Amino acid sequence: MDFQSCVNIKKEWDIVGARQLGRDISRKIGFGTVDQARIATGISELARNIYLYAETGEVCFEALEDMNKKGIRIVAIDKGPGIKDISQVMEDGFTTSGGLGAGLPGVKRLMDEFDIVSQEGEGTEIIVVKWLR
């Protein structure tokens, strides 16, 4: 199983679409209900960040299969305003939206791997991975 599918984030409903697709894919990979909820919630937060800050972008999913482990990689990309100070947004409790999102530290805790690349004025790319245990 090695596929990649993407959901465009343009309207609010796409947040639900993205997390439902992510949940379906993680179920097929074999994740249990708790990890499915973690993955779907993480996707929801990432997709909402795109919708709130960049307006449009996409969330892509890829099933990972290594020699002895399986997982899912989720990539959230936008061409929005970018993040000026990444260390600041990674602090618990930091918000620019008035508490609409739990923010990136929460997403990081939900997943196993978390990478962020952002250039001010160019956009943001966040890559997260969850491994099947």
What is the C-alpha separation between 9 and 59, in angstroms, rounded?
Answer: 7
- Residue 75 lies near other proteins (rule: CB under 8 A): no
With beta carbons less than 8 A apart as the criterion, state whether 26 and 128 touch: no
Stretch that binds other proteins, among 13-21, 61-69, 75-83, 116-124 (CB under 8 A): 13-21
Taking the complex as a whole, the smallest distance from the CB of residue 123 to other proteins amounts, in Å, to 22
Q: Torsion-angle region of residue 33: left (phi > 0), alpha (psi -120 to 50) or beta?
A: alpha
Binding mask 83-112 for other proteins (x = CB under 8 A): ---------x------xxxxx-xxx-xx--
DSSP state of 73: E
Q: Can you tell me which of 7, 9, 29, 40 binds other proteins, judged by CB under 8 A?
A: 40
- Axis crossing angle, helix 13-29 with helix 33-49, rounded to the nearest 10: 150
Catalog residues that contact other proteins under the rule CB under 8 A. 12-13, 15-16, 19-20, 23, 33-34, 36-38, 40-41, 44-45, 48, 92, 99-103, 105-107, 109-110
